[in-house]
Chain A
Amino acid sequence: MVNALFLVLHTLSLPAATPARSVGNVASVRHMASGAADSLATRARLTQSISEFHLAWQRAWRESEKARSANALSDGLANRRSPFATCRPDAKPELLVTRKISTGDSLEFGLYQHRLIRSRQTWYAVCPTWLISTSVNNADDESRSLDGALIPAWRTRIHTLRDALLRQLDSAAIAWPADGWIAGFRTRFRIDQGDTIQALATARSCQSDAWWCAALLGYTYARQENAAEAERAFREMERVMPPAKRCQWDDVGELLPAIERKHYSTIGCKERLELNARFWWLADPYFRTAGNERWVEQHARRVRIVLLNALAQDERYVWSEKSGGDALAELVTRYGWPSYTAWLGDSADRVQTLYLASHASPRAAPYTTFEYTLDRVHTIPSWQTVLAPFTAGETSWFLAKNNDDGLMTTDWWPDEHFRRARRLVQLGDVQTATLRRQSHIVLASAVELRHPAIKLVVARPATGSGSTPPTSPITFDVMLLTSSAPNRVDSLAQVVARPGSAVAMRGLIGPGPALVSIEASASGGIPLDARVRFGVQPPVPLDSMKPREIALSDPVVIDLGEGKTDIRVPSEDLLDHMMGRVQLGATERRIGLYWESYGISATDTVTLSIRITSDAGLSAARRLGMAINVASNPNRSIEQRWTEPDAERGTRTLEGPVPVQMRTIVLNLSQLDPSPYIIEIRAETRDGRVAVSERRVVLTR
């Protein structure tokens, strides 16, 4: 992967030297002509100027860190940061950080030295982690602005120096307008300068390779947080990029766990194209908004790496692969630029340099921590989901971890993460059913808008600019969406719902598998989104059923709403009262069940049965108890059976080429112990045709 990046970088590196000419007595030292016709001399001078700027920035940063360290040392933060800053591949796991953060700190969990990323060339390694301290004196998030790492007193000076450097780069660009290397630095430094407007103008005026110019444009838009425009530019970049380069650029191997990464590396470029498209489709955090923020972020990371890698060293870090720059590149590929990088001083640097020297590895000082804010999400699903997207369940994605109070926690670390502008949380349980219609399928889904983070914002609503609480209650705009392929998203339904309420939505989908996503955005300027996503493989519609075939829909658990919901007249409208979960509390033992049969007409004689069977595994003690007749078998099923037509049952029939019958029943599960159960519905016609469907519910205490 990193090799791929270095190959990409190759096009931006200095071209071959001009023919040597002997100067004085130094025959083997080749002097480059510095005339106007030679961009090499220009680049050489620019390199020196950029390096001097880098040095000045590093000095300012070191001074900034020294100024901060006085406070950090006093509360032991330096000790806590030490294993992360001087990250060592051969450190035994038990020697790594497991200290609890002091009680005065708002973080409640211990920090662990998470999976380190080691260079393939040297013993240099990086140990990314969450922010070790929730507040850092006089520092801003440097993933948003590089100069955030400097204390304010230094920022103005660095700004002036960078301005001078930009003037020099601009002059060079007039002489060498097609030089992508110069265009890259002009764009990068303008962004670092906080001037994204000028950066955009610079990227637009780029006359280098089309793909690189598009990459710079996309990167600038991405830094402006304009994901839609960034995506457009990056799509153009991919379109014009040479295929071999694109294959390397699009490599997602580093975002995968080790085993999957190995598998991915064996896949050829052609197959990867399709796999990558599916990968990013599934990683799209929010289907309802245009563009794929995660995909954009990944390309922005790639461009950033190339920009930083254009010289062997940036303001702080050594990007040369021989000095361990590949580890840095992997860090940025997987996690983006850190929010804060703590430096523990020259002494710590010397110790780490000696450690590296003891392993014949070059020094790469300064050594820092790589700390990330907790507001990151891991939107990439399990590899199994990438291979078979429509088998995905609600747990195929693990977005982030939080505690019961809705606060983000530090006791997890994914293979990759990224920061969205709005917090994204995963909704829990969901109930979904598919009902057959003539040429389509009715997809009905219900979910409860419950999550500790939602509870948190309801309790402590964000107020935007002022401190006045919002006058209107917080609501969520909820959408039911399906996606059957990358870049194809259909919106089925949209409702406004209150936090904590159950939201039932339905819409028509075509035959064929799809990914379903229920996405809820908080109103009132609260930066909170919630989602749940899973695959569905709907049955064939009525017009595709075989002659004489019978079938049943998924049974739907209906919320009786303390008797307010009348289910005596079966109808599709009952789907509006679907329960938003299939975990039933102690007071929810009385439920309604709605289902449909297909291919059975009102005059057909059919035997219907409902069987409820425990789905819990039996413990050894229970099995022993059952053997000696002192314990009951919880898996013993309860069954109710009846035959129709029956005038007393309110079955409703929609006649047609394939008749549809709608049925309801009220179930009282209060006699059942808390446990998971399977509710199975079976229909058997007199001529022996059988259809079965089932729903799993969990009875909780």
Chain B
Amino acid sequence: MTLRMRVLRVCGLLSALCIALPLSAQRPVRRRPSDPPPTSRADSLKADLDRKAEKIELERANKRTAADSVGGGAVVEKDRVVFTLVRPKIRSLLATERSTGHYVWRVDVTTGEPMSFVVTTDTAVSGDNLSRILRASHFRRCDDPLNISALRCAGAMSGSARISDNELRLESRDTAIVAHLRKFRPAMGMHHTFEPHGRFYSDQFHIVYR
């Protein structure tokens, strides 16, 4: 292979890759629960695309919810559920109104069989870094949905929470929660944010099933 041919081949590969990436983004590759965890570079790329696809899906859900006058959204997959709560001012609010108490994020699904869970610390906390507060918080399922104080919700539940920009993302792979949602397929839910100084916010969100 001549040098000219080699150069052309590398250019061709590069251009193919350049074209392939946006195409892949437009046609998201969904990762199945049965799929092996990503190991190779290709898998890593695939996982990246997967996340992009998920984001697009969430954005779509958010757009729809915005159009329907609600905030946030949830995407239920086979093995997990991701709640994205829109809270534009929360970061600055927390930064300026530091106080001691419980930060509570509560999700209520009222249609079908009611289901509630909360994300909160076990004891009162003081701090103004939301990410750190979230890392110290736990997911707790409410045994008596809708009718119980958030701090008395004690049911075991797995999940993770992270804050990005102005979004709060709650993800749970708890099989009972996912199974509950998939069984009753509620279309809407409510989320409430309680801050230690007594401020609270409520928003409705749509639930998308994939």
Q: Which residue numbers of A lie inside 8 Å of B, CB to CB? A: 14, 17, 20, 23-26, 28-34, 40-41, 43-45, 47-52, 54-55, 58, 310-313, 318, 320, 322-323, 346-347, 350, 357, 362-363
Contacts and interface: CB of A to CB of B under 8 A. Distances in A.
Contacts of A44: 100-102, 123-124, 196
A127 B150 CA distance: 36
Given A32-B123, A44-B101, A362 B93 contact: yes
Given A55-B200, A312-B97, A362-B89, A31 B121 contact: yes
Nearest to B88: A357
Q: Closest 9 CB pairs between A and B?
A: A311-B198, A44-B124, A44-B101, A32-B124, A30-B126, A26-B136, A29-B127, A312-B199, A312-B197
B69 A30 contact: no
Nearest to A311: B198
B194 A52 contact: yes
B96 A41 contact: no
Contacts of A346: 69
B111 interface: no
Given A34-B124, A41-B123, A29 B132 contact: yes
A48 B149 contact: yes
Nearest to B136: A26
B99 interface: yes
B93 A52 contact: no
A55 B203 CA distance: 12
A320 B99 contact: no
18 contacts: A28-B132, A29-B121, A32-B100, A43-B101, A45-B102, A48-B101, A48-B102, A51-B194, A55-B194, A311-B197, A312-B195, A312-B198, A313-B199, A322-B96, A346-B69, A350-B69, A362-B93, A363-B89
A14 B127 contact: no
Contacts of B195: 312
Contacts of A41: 123-124
Nearest to A20: B126
A14 B99 contact: yes
Given A312-B198, A318-B199, A25 B135 contact: yes
B135 A51 contact: no
Contacts of A43: 101
B202 interface: yes
A54 B102 contact: no
Contacts of B89: 362-363
Contacts of A311: 197-199
A493 B50 CA distance: 92
Contacts of B69: 346-347, 350
B163 interface: no
The winner among B89, B102, B133, B200 for most chain A CB atoms within 10 A is B200
Interface in B102-148: 102, 104, 121, 123-127, 129, 132-133, 135-136
Nearest to B93: A362
Contact of A17 (B126, B200, B202): B126
B162 interface: no
Nearest to B128: A28
Contacts of A24: 135-136
The winner among A24, A29, A55, A350 for most chain B CB atoms within 10 A is A29
Interface in B83-102: 88-89, 93, 96-97, 99-102
B192 interface: yes
